[in-house]
Structure 1
């Protein structure tokens, strides 16, 4: 475990705020998804050279503090908690411009075969790349 953390920066968009003046919780989920997608594209796929699909099996989010228009740019951290045979567990943290923790999330991602529409075994190379971002749970 080397414990690297992938960081993705995201600006709060004007349309993300609800009538209460803060970012709606559904947008948090979109932010998390965007950061995971960039992690998979920029780290996993670039290193492995594959367009292998992954799907979300489970997602849990703890909303810790509101995000406002002026809270950005946000930083969304992505790290790996566990690597299994066909899946890996992602930990994410959403930090506002001052570094305050706004949300924490965990997602179980499953490697997926698009032809058979079933889970597939992670390759040794995929596991090796993910292990660079593995942290203690």
Structure 2
């Protein structure tokens, strides 16, 4: 496997993932060639990202009409390693690579039942104001949770 530029050491990188969600490939996600259509990689990343933010307790706030901020994806990258097919069981993992002033650099890893890499990816999410669309720095409470999560991942 050719290692993407955002991964320095594949074995160390793989160990940082502490959060994962199971995904079963649905028939509607496959194309005429019988494998997962390339666009669905981003759907898998989104599913893991949302569940990760729920796990941290953030998604509930961002989804509320009463909360002033939300997150948006600023960029998203995927490296396709191995084909995936209908009914295949996958594990989609996400971890925080870096915390910015109002952003997070997240990394993604998708493996099959044999723990072979299918996809890797990275992307940036930014917290913005729902009213102005401008970035808003993480508050102290959120930053503390993010830093704690990053510390847990780095200790693995």
SS in 2 for 1:112: strand
Which residue of the partner structure matches residue 54 of structure 1? Answer: 71
Q: Distance in 1 between matches of 2:46 and 2:17?
A: 19
Cα distance, 1:4 vs. partner? 6.0
Q: Distance in 2 between matches of 1:4 and 1:97?
A: 16
Match of 1:82 among 98, 108, 112: 98
SS in 1 for 2:132: coil
Q: Normalising by structure 1, what TM-score? A: 0.87
Match of 2:86 among 35, 49, 69: 69
Give the conservation status (yes or no) of the 8 Å contact 2:94–2:108: yes
CA RMSD of aligned residues (A): 1.7
Match of 1:23 among 36, 39, 45: 36
Give the conservation status (yes or no) of the 8 Å contact 2:17–2:93: no
Cα distance, 1:35 vs. partner? 1.1
Corresponding pairs, count:
131
Deviating beyond 6 angstroms after TM superposition, the runs of 4 or more aligned structure 1 residues are: none
Point out where structure 1 has 5 or more consecutive residues left out of the alignment: none
Point out where structure 2 has 5 or more consecutive residues left out of the alignment: 1-15, 63-68
| Larger RCO, structures 1/2 (Cα 8 Å, 6+ apart) | 1
